[in-house]
Structures are given as C-alpha cells and as structure tokens.
Amino acid sequence: MNEYHNIETDLILEVSEGLTKNGKTLEGVYFKEEKIENGRVHVTDVEIRTELGARQMGKPKGKYITLESGLLKENCGIDVCAETLSKYIKKLLPHKWNRILAVGLGNRELTVDSLGPKVIDNLFMTYQDMEEGLCGLAPGVMAQTGMETADIIKGVIDQTKPDAVIVIDALAARSIHRLGTTIQLTNTGITPGSGVGNHRNSLTESSLGIPVLAIGVPMIVRTSTIVYDTFSSIIEILQSKHTLRETGKRISEFTVQEKYELIQELLTPEVGNLCVTPKDIDELVFYIGKTVSRGINKAVYE
C-alpha cells in the first residue's frame, strides 16, 4: 500500500516523487531527464514497461512526457513552450496519419475546467477541405450534455474515421508548484476519475480503437492536498526545532493508517468541494491554452 495514493494526482511525476525518494528505483519504470532551450524547459521521460511497474505506480503502461517551465505562465514564453511541446507531440503520435481528431474536455463555463475548450478554439481545423489535418470539438461535460463524453467521441470517430485522437484536459495536481508550470503528455489516454471535472469514462486506445494522446495541464490543487501538506510540514518543522524534537518524532512515527485517519478528520465534505487555484487563473488558462493549441498546430502542420 502506497500512502501517496491517498491523495489524488493526475501527474506521473507526483506519483514517482513519492515512490523513488532516496534513490530508490522501480522495476519496469524508466526515467530520463533533460534540460532544453538553455535550461529553461525541463523534460522528464517516464516509461512504464511492465505490469509490475504499472501496479507499483498505479498508472497504466505507456509513455509519459512531462514539460516543466516557468515560461508557461508568461506571454513571452508561448513560442518557446509551443515549439518544445510540438516536438514531443510528434514523438507520441503515430508515425503515419491523415486525420487527427482533437477533443477539448472540460466545461467552458467554469474557468478552472475550461482549458480543453479554449485549446479547441485556437486550433486550425482543415480536415473537411483538405482531406488531411486536424478536426476537433469541445463536447462539453455531462452536466451540460446529459451524455457520456466518451459516447460523443465514439460517435464522432465512427463518422469521421480519424487515425488518432488528441485529448486536452485540465488536471488536478498534488503540489501547488505545479500550477501553471507543467504540461504532461501520455499515450495512455485518460482514465476515469482524473481531471478537474471528474467527468468522463475511459478514453484510451482500447476503448476508442485508435491511438490516444492525452495532453494534461494542472490547473487546480485539491484542498485536501493543502491539509496533507500542512500536516507533513508541521512534522518536519517540529523535528527541526530542538525543543520540539520529541513531539515531532512522536507524530512522525504514526503509521500510514494513523496519518490517513488524522487527515480524514480534517477533511469535511465542504473542504472537498473547494479547490486551490491562482487568483489569476483566467489569465493562466489564456496563456497555456495558447501554448497548447500552438504546439498542436505546429505538430500537425509543420
């Protein structure tokens, strides 16, 4: 049992942070890191190659590429980040394709969940005229449509026969440091219960019948995370203070189960419905939406 599974995260890096502390490695999970663009963009390649690795990580087998950059928050970073992003999108897309369907998940009307639709708004769609390139839509969430988003996408795939799907979604991170600094790409698609909106069935190659590239961007941290982090920090601080060391030590010796119960007591249902975002989330969605759509446009048309 992995204590980090208690706190939901959609980000592979946050899963692995918990598991590979102190130089520990995981069988069947491969990591590669590099800094590009003069060190301004940090890229981490994670590949889960075995079922054991998948079980340990709690994530499906496949490739996960994470871009991290402070530039993502800034207007002037759009070009650099889009360029980098397009390179890795190409890497995860199938080698040959004529048409790609882009799907922007999420609710256009709720700022924290609007990244997907915003990206679709800025894509350059050509399929119908040119017989190749991008087509796409923002299907809305179930509260808006009364339908499973997966059903809408399956119907559209049946009719338009694309060779691959790119799904774009806002994610929930564990760490507030992730907000506005991270983009995750994976060829494992999207699995139930993830995302800001928790709004869909599985969207994977096995459910849709064609390759699925998921592009996810953390936009919120669940309030429960702040509670958990505060708890952890208190222990660390207590241990670092001479006079309090005994107290801190005592709490730090709690079993995972004890810690979990303590945190559950702190988490009322009201806390659970809230989320932590930057006050300027509206701007963040605008900038990152531009970066992601530009990255997809470049990957597809250049």
Residues 6+ apart with CB under 8 A from 129: none
If the CB atoms of residues 62 and 136 are measured against a second copy, the closer one turns out to be 136
The H or E element that residue 82 is part of is helix 78-92
- Which of residues 32, 143, 256, 257 is near a second copy by CB under 8 A? 143
Long-range contacts of 125-130 (CB under 8 A, 24+ apart): 126/301, 127/99, 127/160, 127/162
The H or E element that residue 66 is part of is strand 62-68
- Which of residues 53, 62, 77, 136 is near a second copy by CB under 8 A? 136
Q: What minimum distance in Å lies between the beta carbon of 154 and a second copy?
A: 6
Q: What minimum distance in Å lies between the beta carbon of 112 and a second copy?
A: 6
Q: Is 201 exposed, middle or buried (0-12, 13-18, 19+ CB in 10 A)?
A: middle
Q: What minimum distance in Å lies between the beta carbon of 42 and a second copy?
A: 17
- Which of residues 38, 159, 206, 255 is near a second copy by CB under 8 A? 159
Q: Which of residues 221-280 bind a second copy (CB under 8 A)?
A: 221, 223, 226-227, 230-231, 233-234, 237-238, 244, 247, 250-251, 262, 265-266, 270-271, 273-280
Taking CB under 8 A as the rule, does residue 179 contact a second copy? yes
What does the alpha-carbon distance between residue 211 and residue 209 come to, in Å, rounded to a whole number? 7
What does the alpha-carbon distance between residue 154 and residue 80 come to, in Å, rounded to a whole number? 34
If the CB atoms of residues 2 and 160 are measured against a second copy, the closer one turns out to be 160
- Residues 189, 167 contacting (CB under 8 angstroms): yes
Q: What tokens were used for 183? A: 């983009």
Rounded to 5 degrees, φ, ψ at 196 are: -65, -40
Binding mask 85-124 for a second copy (x = CB under 8 A): ------------------------xxxxx------xx---
Q: What minimum distance in Å lies between the beta carbon of 274 and a second copy?
A: 5
If the CB atoms of residues 51 and 280 are measured against a second copy, the closer one turns out to be 280
- Which of residues 95, 158, 206, 255 is near a second copy by CB under 8 A? 158
What does the alpha-carbon distance between residue 36 and residue 133 come to, in Å, rounded to a whole number? 28
What is the side-by-side strand order in the sheet with 182-186? 29-36, 41-48, 62-68, 182-186, 212-222, 164-173, 99-104, 133-137
Q: What minimum distance in Å lies between the beta carbon of 49 and a second copy?
A: 34
Q: What minimum distance in Å lies between the beta carbon of 47 and a second copy?
A: 30
If the CB atoms of residues 202 and 223 are measured against a second copy, the closer one turns out to be 223
